[in-house]
Amino acid sequence: MTYTPFQPFRWRLAHGRSLELGPRGVLMAIINVTPDSFSDGGRFTDADAAVAAALRAVEEGAEILDIGGESTRPDAKPVSAEEERARVMPVIAALAGETEAIISIDTYRADTARLAVEAGAHTVNDVHGLQREPAIASVAAETGAGLCIMHTGRGREKLGDVIEDQFHFLDRSLEIAAKAGVRREQIVLDPGFGFAKDTDENLELIGRFEELHRFALPLLVGTSRKRFVGAVTGREAQARDVGTAATTALLRAQGAAIFRVHDVAINRDALAMADAMLTAKNSRRDMKP
């Protein structure tokens, strides 16, 4: 059977939760509990402020809250596992008691992932695609947590073709997941916009996005306020939300399932337009004799 990205896919998560992906776009709000993230560093270093921001994002339309305690910008200083956990655990514990939204822990550390799921997180978002700490796959297998596996070009030599490199890297990640016992219905993939990709590579990845459906898995995209959006629009990081919303609509039309964003409201509207267009297109197709 041919994979169709707009058909329902039941994403299996920890604590008996699940989320339907496919027929409509889903928003994941970025909640960085860090002092140095590239566009919102220092806004939510206090746990109470981070929780309040997350709850506002839910009111604006976010269904997933992605909680991160270490910046992933290229020149960011690494933090210790202890510092990361001190930042994110109070936020996750508080949100688990205050909202029905899906909680995601943004980490590559297996121990942090395990503790976060125990505290109430439903899914793990690994920007190293299981290839820095492969044990994180075992955490997902043992807890039933959802698993977002991201492509990155950092720290290695990439292939010349952007799509070939996606398969080269993510096929290895999927092997790690399978060997650990992670079920395919727990997995979504992220092509890693901005992670060791220049403007031309990011734009080509958008233009050829539909080729990634050969993975036959839902796709999460994180273009929000990325440098390539600034290169195209001429905007500084905090003024890139309109450009981000344009990529959201373009990528939804090509079958992206989840959109990781800073500004939930503007991307909610972009998704509403894209999904309305897709519904109209499908209705016309169904009416043909």
Over residues 29-73, the pLDDT tens digits come to 999 998 754 444 445 568 899 999 999 999 999 999 999 999 877
Domain coordinates in residue numbering, the chain: 9-287
Tell me what pLDDT residue 77 has: 79
* CA gap 184, 21 in Å, rounded: 14
* CA gap 36, 138 in Å, rounded: 30
Query: What is the value of pTM for the model shown?
Result: 0.94
Which member of 227, 240, 260, 268 is catalytic? Answer: 260
Tell me what pLDDT residue 256 has: 98
Tell me what pLDDT residue 5 has: 97
CA angle 148, 152, 154 (to 5 degrees): 145
Half-sphere exposure of 148 (CA within 13 A, CB side): 28
pLDDT higher than threshold 80 for residue 216:
yes
pLDDT higher than threshold 80 for residue 8:
yes
Rounded to an integer, the average pLDDT of 66-84 is: 85
Tell me what pLDDT residue 43 has: 58
Which of 46-55, 68-77, 105-114, 134-143 shows the lowest per-residue confidence on average (mean pLDDT)?
68-77
**288 has catalytic annotation:** no
Residue 286 pLDDT grade (very low, low, confident, very high; cuts 50, 70, 90)? low
Contact 26, 252 (CB under 8 A): no
Higher pLDDT pick, 35 / 270: 270
The predicted-structure confidence for 141-175, as pLDDT tens digits, reads as follows 999 999 999 999 999 999 999 999 999 999 999 99
Tell me what pLDDT residue 38 has: 46
Which member of 12, 109, 114, 226 is catalytic? Answer: 226
**208 has catalytic annotation:** no
Which strands form 102-106's sheet, in the order they lie side by side? 187-190, 146-150, 123-126, 102-106, 64-68, 26-32, 258-261, 220-221
pLDDT higher than threshold 90 for residue 122:
yes
**Token pair for 226:** 């990325």
Q: Write out the H or E segment, with its range, that includes residue 275.
A: helix 264-287
* CA gap 4, 101 in Å, rounded: 26
Task: Report the DSSP beta bridge partners of residue 32.
Answer: 68
- In the chain, the percentage of residues whose pLDDT exceeds 90 is 87
pLDDT higher than threshold 90 for residue 104:
yes
* CA gap 6, 229 in Å, rounded: 26
DSSP 54-118: HHHHHHHT-SEEEEESS--STTPPP--HHHHHHHHHHHHHHHHTT--SEEEEE-S-HHHHHHHHH
Return mean pLDDT, the chain: 94
Which one, of 129, 219, 259, lies nearest residue 182 by Cα?
A: 129
pLDDT higher than threshold 60 for residue 95:
yes
Contact 167, 213 (CB under 8 A): no
Q: For domain 9-287, give its CATH number from 3.40.630.70, 3.40.190.290, 3.20.20.20, 3.40.718.10.
A: 3.20.20.20
Rounded to an integer, the average pLDDT of 182-204 is: 98
